[in-house]
A and B are shown apart, each in its own frame.
Chain A
Amino acid sequence: MFRKLAEVFGHGLKNRSFVIGGIISLLFFLVAFLSYFWTPYPVEDINIAERLLKPSTKYLLGTDHFGRDILSMLIKGARNSVIVAFVAIGIGLGCGVPLGLTAAAKKGWVNELIMRFNDFTFAFPSLISAIMITAILGPGSINSIIAIGIFNIPVFARVARGAALSIWKREFILAARSAGKGQFKISVEHILPNISSMLIVQATIQFALGILAEAGLSYLGLGTQPPMPSWGKMLNEAHTFMHFAPQLAIYPGAAIALTVMGLNLFGDGLRDVLDPKLRRSR
């Protein structure tokens, strides 16, 4: 296991996307983690006297309309993004992968049912589900997690099913069946390890998409609520002050873009790193 990880990592060091994306993603996670222990200023501190300040040595990125430190809010906002995206991925993986594996294993009406469910869920982009949920529950960060998570389910189900179907056609599955293994055991022992790298790659992509979606929901006020800072919320507030403090709009947006790009690059790199190995051993 460790030998394999080390091997993947060794290959990865030769891949530009993997390295750059990996560094950016790692920084993002470190920053999110940092927020638990330290931010330059507490983000709840409202100081109207020092509102809308330009960047200075005291406030590295300036302050917002309540005089809160932008840098502190960005750091704390990273944590928010990580949590939402992580839990949503968890929902997607946890429900989607078993669904996809079942659909591939069972075929027939079970497969049909799961696939219809998938198509159907796709018809509700996370924003529309979030709108429905907000309409009855009121806004909150749980909404965004559920909405993004639900949208992740068919994504993972589809990837898992597609990949699993091609593995089911391979002869080693027949061999496992001749050894008396049932569908469940085969799915866990043979299918899952062979599609795991695809799932990991998809997860990094969905992670990036999750961050984007969370930002969008918070921007509309459907997601994370104050006082918890979030990048989307910050952009929304910046929108109001766009005409006289355009700098406020730059930082959170740049933070989102950089993080998403880092994760996407990492995902691309990871795919390239994992793929030739798969091809060679086929």
Chain B
Amino acid sequence: MKQPLVKIEDVYKDYQLPKKYLFQKAPFFRALHGINLELNQGSSFGIVGESGCGKSTLARIVMALDNPTSGTVFFEGRDLFNIPSAELRHLRRNFQMVFQDPYGSLNPRKNILGIVAEPLDTLKERLSFAEKKERVSQILVEVGLNAADTDKFPHEFSGGQRQRIAIARALITRPSLIVADESVSALDVSVQAQVLNLMMDLQDKYNLTYMFISHDLSVVEYVTDHVAVIYMGQIVEQGTTKSLFQNPLHPYTQTLLRAVPDVNPLNKRREVKERIPQFEMTSKSCPFLDRCIKATKNCADNAPKLVENMGHWVACFNPDVA
């Protein structure tokens, strides 16, 4: 079997919280709770969840910008958290990131050349200024900007153009993986469509792998071929986009999908029923217990593991098999 490009292995991430009593052991917040994933070359993998579910933390760990508390990430078979830092720096040319905020992700004090060329430092060979400029101009054209834009500064561009610059920066080292953390969320729909199209074209051209993180389900459905739904730091459902979106099994996935307001005013939504939690939540319970309409005693006592069901994986004792 072919080796996966990225292998996320049992990743936990805890953040310390401030103490509430003086002599208490510092409490922690578990942002990620045993995440296992494999991303194959050329695929686009979606990570879906609400704010605070840990999806951005996961992105940062995959990018080796943050250390997991336990577990690790393999990139092209190499353990990112167990290699010399010089090697990691060099390896970084192969995975790059496109961020959410087109205004915050470009240093306002640097010109476009400086911004886009920055990842070139991860290459082993040192490039001359002329070589850098040549490569930057080339990539700018590729993302739909002008080769002459190298001397301009970020504030001279609109939000959509800035996001193109960010894509150019991520692409300049010809990486195999691009992690896109809410990369189109801040854009207006008309611009969002342009940027999505660009990303799709680039994927076809360079056989890129995307890890596409978003809270926008319709965008994820459109862009990705595999998807994982994260709730409170755990994967609750995972599978091919097609099977997951057409046949969501986990109550949480269903809640998410149903909550998206339909653009057709004739498709009136059902009212949400008020749920009264019936079971006491413990550290062993299913994380979705207090919001689940199908919760049982079993769910309160044991956390379900991911099991295969109807062609994809779901962590639920009572999946909705229609």
Interface residues of A (CB under 8 A from B): 170-172, 174-181, 190, 193-194, 278, 280-282
B106:A178 contact, CB within 8 angstroms: no
A175:B122 contact, CB within 8 angstroms: no
| Nearest residue, chain B, Cβ from A170 | B104
A170 to B100, CA, bound (A): 11
Q: How far is the CB of A82 from chain B (nearest CB, A)?
A: 30
- Given the interface pairs A281-B108, A281-B153, A281-B155, the reply to whether A174 lies near B122 with Cβ below 8 Å is no
Q: How far is the CB of A114 from chain B (nearest CB, A)?
A: 20
State the 5 A-B residue pairs at the shortest beta-carbon distance, nearest first.
A281-B155, A180-B89, A171-B105, A281-B108, A171-B99
- Given the interface pairs A171-B101, A176-B118, A179-B122, the reply to whether A194 lies near B107 with Cβ below 8 Å is yes
A176 to B118, CA, bound (A): 7
Cβ contacts A to B, 15 pairs, < 8 Å:
A170-B105, A171-B101, A172-B104, A174-B60, A174-B63, A174-B97, A175-B166, A175-B169, A178-B95, A180-B89, A181-B118, A181-B121, A190-B107, A281-B108, A282-B108
Q: Is the interface of B mostly helix, strand, loop or mixed?
A: mixed
Asked if B263 is at the interface of the complex by the 8 Å CB criterion, the answer is: no
Asked if B130 is at the interface of the complex by the 8 Å CB criterion, the answer is: no
B109:A174 contact, CB within 8 angstroms: no
The residues of A that contact B118 with a CB separation of less than 8 Å are 175-176, 179, 181
The residues of A that contact B89 with a CB separation of less than 8 Å are 180
The residues of A that contact B97 with a CB separation of less than 8 Å are 174-175, 178
Listed residue (A175, A176, A278) with the most chain B CB atoms within 10 angstroms of its CB: A175
The residues of B that contact A281 with a CB separation of less than 8 Å are 108, 153-155
A194 to B105, CA, bound (A): 13
Knowing that A170-B104, A180-B119, A193-B109 touch, tell me 8 more A-B residue pairs with CB under 8 angstroms.
Answer: A170-B105, A174-B105, A178-B65, A178-B92, A179-B92, A179-B119, A281-B108, A282-B108
Interface residues of B (CB under 8 A from A): 60, 63, 65, 88-90, 92, 95-97, 99-101, 103-110, 115, 118-119, 121-122, 153-155, 166, 169
Q: How far is the CB of A150 from chain B (nearest CB, A)?
A: 31
B122:A172 contact, CB within 8 angstroms: no
B108:A180 contact, CB within 8 angstroms: no
The residues of A that contact B65 with a CB separation of less than 8 Å are 174, 177-178
A151 to B154, CA, bound (A): 38
The residues of A that contact B90 with a CB separation of less than 8 Å are 180
The residues of A that contact B95 with a CB separation of less than 8 Å are 178
Residue among B101, B103, B106, B121 making CB contact with A179, cutoff 8 Å: B121
Residue among A175, A177, A179, A181 making CB contact with B105, cutoff 8 Å: A175
Residue among A172, A177, A178, A278 making CB contact with B107, cutoff 8 Å: A172
The residues of B that contact A174 with a CB separation of less than 8 Å are 60, 63, 65, 97, 99, 105
Q: How far is the CB of A57 from chain B (nearest CB, A)?
A: 54
Residue among B106, B119, B155 making CB contact with A280, cutoff 8 Å: B155
Listed residue (A170, A190, A280) with the most chain B CB atoms within 10 angstroms of its CB: A170
Q: Is the interface of A mostly helix, strand, loop or mixed?
A: helix
A178 to B99, CA, bound (A): 11
A178 to B154, CA, bound (A): 19
B99:A278 contact, CB within 8 angstroms: no
Q: How far is the CB of A38 from chain B (nearest CB, A)?
A: 42
A171:B153 contact, CB within 8 angstroms: no
| Nearest residue, chain B, Cβ from A173 | B107
The residues of B that contact A190 with a CB separation of less than 8 Å are 107, 109-110
| Nearest residue, chain A, Cβ from B169 | A175
A194:B155 contact, CB within 8 angstroms: no
| Nearest residue, chain B, Cβ from A194 | B109
The residues of A that contact B155 with a CB separation of less than 8 Å are 280-281
Q: How far is the CB of A273 from chain B (nearest CB, A)?
A: 16
A177 to B166, CA, bound (A): 14
The residues of B that contact A280 with a CB separation of less than 8 Å are 155
Q: How far is the CB of A60 from chain B (nearest CB, A)?
A: 48
A282:B103 contact, CB within 8 angstroms: yes
B92:A172 contact, CB within 8 angstroms: no
A239 to B89, CA, bound (A): 67
B101:A194 contact, CB within 8 angstroms: no
B96:A171 contact, CB within 8 angstroms: no
The residues of A that contact B108 with a CB separation of less than 8 Å are 194, 278, 281-282
- Given the interface pairs A176-B118, A179-B118, the reply to whether A171 lies near B92 with Cβ below 8 Å is no
A278 to B107, CA, bound (A): 11
The residues of A that contact B110 with a CB separation of less than 8 Å are 190, 193
A179 to B121, CA, bound (A): 7
The residues of B that contact A180 with a CB separation of less than 8 Å are 88-90, 92, 119, 121-122
A93 to B99, CA, bound (A): 34
The residues of A that contact B103 with a CB separation of less than 8 Å are 282
A194 to B153, CA, bound (A): 14
| Nearest residue, chain B, Cβ from A169 | B104
Q: How far is the CB of B148 from chain A (nearest CB, A)?
A: 17
A180 to B84, CA, bound (A): 13
A229 to B103, CA, bound (A): 53
Q: How far is the CB of B88 from chain A (nearest CB, A)?
A: 8
A174 to B92, CA, bound (A): 13
Q: How far is the CB of B92 from chain A (nearest CB, A)?
A: 5
| Nearest residue, chain A, Cβ from B105 | A171
A278 to B108, CA, bound (A): 8
